[in-house]
Amino acid sequence: MELINAAASVVDDIKQALSAQGIDKTSLRIAMNMGWGGASFYLVLDEPGDMDQVQNIDGIKFIVQQSLIDMFEGFTIESVKRGEQTMFRILPKVEQDMGGCSTCTSC
């Protein structure tokens, strides 16, 4: 199973973003945050642990905790450019209903 789907141009954008910040590490973890709108995903500098799966794409080591893989079956990373800024969007392969505003009836 492919853990991470990222076009070559997206990996290049990630490399440029790291370089622009003077960061020479190339290990990035896909992490999850739960908020009112449900799950959101982001990239953080890290090293793999015992409960992780790793996929190397053109010199960038993407790390994902096994529990996230079990739940979402992998991720697609996209880059979005707005002027001089590049942002990264991380989308799960399988959407999960994890609460948030979509399950709340009090509003």
Q: What is the pLDDT of residue 38?
A: 82
Q: What is the pLDDT of residue 71?
A: 93
- Tell me which DSSP letter residue 67 carries: H
Q: What is the pLDDT of residue 1?
A: 65
**What dihedral angle (degrees, nearest 10) is formed by the CA atoms of 15, 19, 45, 93?**
-20
Q: What is the pLDDT of residue 37?
A: 75
Q: What is the pLDDT of residue 103?
A: 52
pLDDT in tens, the chain (107 residues): 689 999 999 999 999 999 999 999 999 999 999 887 788 999 999 999 999 999 999 999 999 999 999 999 999 999 999 998 999 999 999 986 655 455 555 55
